[in-house]
Structures are given as C-alpha cells and as structure tokens.
C-alpha cells in the first residue's frame, strides 16, 4: 500500500517537473504570434459605457462609435511588444503556480509517509483482530 502511494506521488511530482520544464522552455524561446496579422490590426472601436442611464444623446459625445485611424509602424511594433509581454507574464504566473504545486505535493508526500509509518507502527504494537478469521476483503481502499 505504501509503495503504491509513494509511486503515485512520485509520478505526480515528476509530471509537475515536466510541466515546469515546458514552461521554462517557453519563457526562454520566442513568443508565437497570436491574433490578426499586424497589417490588419487597428485600435478597434472607441466605445463609451455608462453605469446608469445615458444622461444625454450620443451625438453630444461626437456621434456613434467609429473605427479609429490606422496605426503607424511604431504603434504596431508597440502592440506586438505588449502581446509578448502579456504572454510572458502569463507563462511566469503559470510557472510560479507550478512551483507552488510542486512544493505542496512534496510536503504532502512527507506528511503522508510519516502518518503511514505511524499507522503501521500502531497496528504492529497494539492488539487487533487483523488476520483473525476468514475475512475475504483485505484490499485497502485509498
């Protein structure tokens, strides 16, 4: 039973290590392009939102929302850099979460080992009815 639990937990820690390595590779590599091509990008629409009723007609604000002017090359490059920063920030967050998960998993493995050793020692030292009679189900459910 203890051997199976140790094997299961070590497999989980190994999987977390593999995920950490994958995210580290992504952080060191280039960020793949996502979204529309830079040539097709624009600022999008300029929308105005109100938390309550609109206090006046929309034409007082300059009319209905319209598409803004095309972006310059410098603005497109800045957008691309922002995309990369956002992707790297997400990967960094993912890496931090995986490291925390690994740390907690390793702590849990140690606590589980200690408590199973204690359970085993108690079972060996205390008088019990284990093994007496014709019980047919000696499978531990965990």
**Phi, psi dihedral angles at 105 (to 5 degrees):** -65, -45
The answer to the question of residue 53 being in a domain is no
The answer to the question of residue 115 being in a domain is yes
The answer to the question of residue 10 being in a domain is yes
Q: Distance (Å, rounded) from C-alpha 99 to C-alpha 20? A: 7
The answer to the question of residue 7 being in a domain is yes
Per the model's pLDDT, the better-predicted residue between 15 and 4 turns out to be 15
The answer to the question of residue 62 being in a domain is no
For residue 20, what are its two tokens? 């950490």
How many domains would you assign to the chain? 1
Q: Are 116 and 5 in contact (CB under 8 A)?
A: yes
The answer to the question of residue 91 being in a domain is yes
The model's confidence at residue 19, banded by pLDDT at 50, 70 and 90, is very high
Quick: pLDDT tens for 80-117: 888 888 899 999 999 999 999 999 999 988 898 899 88
Collapsing DSSP states into helix, strand and coil, what is residue 48?
A: coil
Quick: pLDDT tens for 42-80: 655 555 666 666 666 655 555 555 555 677 888 888 888
Q: Which domain holds residue 15?
A: 2-34+72-125
């Amino acid at each position: 039973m203890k051997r199976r639990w140790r094997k299961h937990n070590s497999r989980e820690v190994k999987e977390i290590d593999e995920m950490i390595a994958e995210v580290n590779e992504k952080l060191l590599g280039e960020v793949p392009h996502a979204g529309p091509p830079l040539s097709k990008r624009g600022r999008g629409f300029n929308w105005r939102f109100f938390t309550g009723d609109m206090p006046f007609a929309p034409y007082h604000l300059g009319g209905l929302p319209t598409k803004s002017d095309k972006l310059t090359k410098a603005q497109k490059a800045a957008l691309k850099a922002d995309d990369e920063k956002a992707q790297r920030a997400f990967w960094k967050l993912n890496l931090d979460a995986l490291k925390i998960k690994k740390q907690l998993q390793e702590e849990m493995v140690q606590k589980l080992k200690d408590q199973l050793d204690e359970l085993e020692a108690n079972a060996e030292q205390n008088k019990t009815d284990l093994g007496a009679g014709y019980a047919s189900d000696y499978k531990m459910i965990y």
